[in-house]
Amino acid sequence: MTILVTGGAGFIGSNFVLDWLAANDEALVNVDKLTYAGNPENLASLQGDPRHLFVQADIGDFARLSALLHDHAIRAVVNFAAESHVDRSIHGPEDFIQTNIVGSFRLLEAVRGYWHELPQDAKLAFRFLHVSTDEVYGSLEKTDPPFTERNQYQPNSPYSASKAASDHLVRAYHHTYGLPVLTTNCSNNYGPYHFPEKLIPLCIQNALAGKPLPIYGDGRQIRDWLYVKDHCSAIRTVLAKGKVGEIYNIGGWNEKANLDVVHTLCRILDELQPRPDGLSYAKQITFVTDRPGHDRRYAIDAGKLQRELGWQPAETFETGIRKTVGWYLEHQDWVQNVLSGDYQSWLEKNYAGRG
């Protein structure tokens, strides 16, 4: 038996692949286009492992994906493949439409054709798990209850709109064709192998480099923070026990304002790797112009997942963020390898004029 994972060289996907192969012997076909955020180095520990087949391919390549499904007798697909950075979607939405909408459609078509030809028992056992985001639900006011699976979709960025569209396609393929789908909507992830364009890895790296720690607006935007290993365990749970056609929200029960997250990072860095001058890294915090249409608050109610499938996160924010800072301090070689000229150009483009 074999599963197929798309986007398995990215941040969440590579953590899922590593954890999957650490937990069981079922083989895994790993498909990734290797855009800027897809990093084969994340998977270096799997080199020579016969259970792991890496294939560089685009989920929009219908023929390639169809062949992989048939050739490896795939029994489940876990779809992580997506463009996922809000700021990048503001600067250039085209890639998000192509990958998150068109790519998802072509992947669904390849899976539908393959699934339709399966014997009845394999058909019943097959699953297509689509990994999505809480951002499809829009923004919450401070006193609003957290998002549940019944919240109306109200995406506010090109990124979240493209993910909402892919969620709707997945739902439609279940209701129209009977494809056995599962959808998960997660909160903000953090942890090892996180590409340093996002808040936590960016601030860790800028702190160590003596650079400003850029905080959008007043820094009081609230997110629910989910340690990536907890996210991966939730996906394994949904894949194994989730009810076909259902949506499951995955959250860490950790609502934190961005500014508070950065102060926590600074406090841990002050302890683990103090500045040479003895001052706190918090001295490097700099407030910059907010991004357009910045959602104020996201919060996930993961109660359904706990009640129905028995999952809950293993990490608190304090334990997860300490593990994350420690990982980055111990893997500076990985960080330096991803800080390419293209990445530096992106930083300059995104933060120019915000000061």
Q: Is 232 inside any structural domain?
A: yes
CATH of the domain at 63: 3.40.50.720
| 188-190, strands of its sheet edge to edge | 188-190, 222-227, 255-257
Q: Is 263 inside any structural domain?
A: no
Output DSSP code: residue 79: E
Q: What is the pLDDT, as a whole number, of residue 150?
A: 97
39-67: pLDDT as tens digits: 999 999 999 999 999 999 999 999 999 99
Stretches where the chain sits below pLDDT 50 are 346
Q: What is the pLDDT, as a whole number, of residue 347?
A: 52
Q: What is the pLDDT, as a whole number, of residue 83?
A: 86
- Residue 10: other Cβ atoms inside 10 A: 26
Q: Is 264 inside any structural domain?
A: no
134 in catalytic set: yes
Considering the candidates 135, 197, 230, 315, report the single residue annotated as catalytic.
135
Strand runs (DSSP E) across 219-317, as ranges? Answer: 222-227, 247-250, 255-257, 285-288
Q: Is 57 inside any structural domain?
A: yes
Q: What is the pLDDT, as a whole number, of residue 292?
A: 85
Q: Is 340 inside any structural domain?
A: no
131: domain range?
Answer: 2-191+226-253+298-313
pTM of the predicted model over 0.75: yes
The total number of structural domains in the chain stands at: 1
Considering the candidates 114, 137, 159, 193, report the single residue annotated as catalytic.
159
Query: What is the Cα–Cα distance from 223 to 256, expressed in whole angstroms?
Result: 6
Give kind and range of the element (H or E) at residue 48.
none
196-247: pLDDT as tens digits: 878 999 999 999 999 999 999 999 999 999 999 999 999 999 999 999 999 9
Query: What is the Cα–Cα distance from 239 to 111, expressed in whole angstroms?
Result: 16
Q: Is 56 inside any structural domain?
A: yes
Considering the candidates 32, 134, 230, 301, report the single residue annotated as catalytic.
134
Contact 130/183 with Cβ under 8 angstroms?
yes
Q: Is 270 inside any structural domain?
A: no
308 in catalytic set: no
Q: Is 337 inside any structural domain?
A: no
Q: What are phi and psi of 231, to 5 degrees?
A: -60, -45
227 in catalytic set: no
Q: Which two tokens stand for residue 18?
A: 């590593």
Strand runs (DSSP E) across the chain, as ranges? Answer: 2-6, 27-32, 52-56, 74-79, 127-133, 181-186, 188-190, 213-216, 222-227, 247-250, 255-257, 285-288
Q: What is the pLDDT, as a whole number, of residue 87?
A: 76
